[in-house]
């Protein structure tokens, strides 16, 4: 789960301009100022990178960084890296 957590910090900083020091395990996506569109974009990026689906319903903004990391890690067969080796900040 550590690899997923580190990836999320990098992704939030690079793609969503979140201060990496502000990203704590207990920080909610809403507290990191991700609106609903940004949450959807985050989950699409996670799906592209890790090959896992996350529910982007209205309550997703209440998920903490740790919740997201756990949801991703729970769907991975092991704690392997992303399915694609791309920079999370690279625009698509």
- Domain map (residue ranges) of the chain: 1-75
pLDDT above 90 coverage of the chain, percent: 63
Cβ 7 vs Cβ 88: under 8 Å: yes
Alpha helix ranges (H) inside 1-58: 2-16, 36-50
Q: For the chain, what is the mean pLDDT?
A: 85
In terms of pLDDT, which residue wins out, 78 or 45?
Answer: 45
Which pLDDT band, with edges at 50, 70 and 90, does 87 fall under? low
Q: What pLDDT does residue 80 have?
A: 57
Render pLDDT for 14-49 as a digit per residue (tens, 0 to 9): 999 999 999 999 999 999 999 999 999 999 999 999
pTM to 2 decimal places: 0.79
CATH topology (fold) of 1-75: 1.10.1200
With b meaning 16 or more CB within 10 Å and e meaning fewer, what string describes 5-36?
A: bebbbebbbebbebeeeebeeebebeebebee
């Amino acid at each position: 789960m550590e690899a997923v957590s580190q990836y999320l910090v990098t992704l939030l900083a690079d793609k969503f301009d979140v201060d990496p020091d502000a990203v704590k395990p207990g920080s909610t996506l809403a507290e990191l100022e991700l609106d609903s569109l940004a949450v959807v974009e985050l989950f699409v990026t996670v799906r592209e990178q890790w090959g896992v689906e996350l529910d982007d319903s209205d309550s997703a903004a209440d998920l903490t960084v740790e919740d997201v990391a756990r949801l991703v890690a729970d769907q991975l067969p092991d704690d392997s890296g992303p399915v694609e080796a791309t920079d999370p900040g690279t625009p698509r």
